[in-house]
Amino acid sequence: MIAGLYIDGNSVLHRAQAGPKILAMVALGTGVFMVPDWPVVSLVLASVIALYRLSGFGWRVIIAQIRPMAWLLAIFFAVQLWLNDWQAGLLVITRIAAIVMFASLITLTTKTSDMLASLERALRPLKPLGVNPEKVSLAISMVLRFIPVIATVASEIRDAQRARGLDRSILAMIVPLIIRTLKMADDVADAIEARSFD
């Protein structure tokens, strides 16, 4: 199965429930937009980084979270410097960094299965609106089941097309892939029906 981004640990954040953590994320995201003040937001960012340390993560993990957005943040800072001043630039980049880093921290400290359990709990009140939590979890499981199957079919098709000299055409890959997996989906639906799911 596909491994989640969760990193094992035993900190307060690791032990906390997914629901409250997600609420905290929403609160922090809203908060940093309500206070357009760079020293405050920088303090929030510093606290988020401290939370990483408290949750048992080393600097390598922290830098790995910052690196993918570093060039974008640099551009945003430069744009603000050009349009306004460096304080505005600092506000923009510390705000983005604080939100993204906190959100990533939630993902790093929450198991996919716990996340799923809270999702199912959150969906339960929506049942009268036609949302069926069992069908949602069936769909989620099926995606995880389909990913390796589709990847295998894709490489089979690529080999077949390569043998015909069509290996540069994405279309020659994607159309047969869709048709074959749609046929598979029909069979899977039959099999689910045959196993008396309703």
Window 87-106: residues binding another protein (CB under 8 A): 88, 91-92, 95-96, 99-101, 103-104, 106
Could you give phi then psi for residue 19, rounded to 5 degrees?
A: -55, -60
- Which parts of 10-39 interact with another protein (CB under 8 A)? 22, 25, 29
Which amino acid is present at 76?
A: F
**CA distance to 5, 6, 61, 129, per residue, from 121 (Å):** 22, 20, 30, 15
Options 119, 120, 133, 166; binder of another protein; rule CB under 8 A:
119
Q: Is 55 in the site for another protein (CB under 8 A)?
A: no
Options 4, 9, 19, 56; binder of another protein; rule CB under 8 A:
4
**Least gap, CB of 10 to another protein (angstroms):** 18
Interaction pattern, residues 128-147, with another protein; x per rule: CB under 8 A:
-------xx-xxxxxxxxxx
Options 81, 150, 160, 166; binder of another protein; rule CB under 8 A:
150
DSSP string of 5-36? S-----SHHHHS-HHHHHHHHHHHHHHHHH--
**Least gap, CB of 163 to another protein (angstroms):** 20
> Max CA-CA distance within the chain?
66
> The tokens 């690196």 sit on which residue?
67
CA distance 98 to 102: 6
CA distance 160 to 163: 5
- Which parts of 167-196 interact with another protein (CB under 8 A)? 170-171, 174-175, 177-179, 181-196
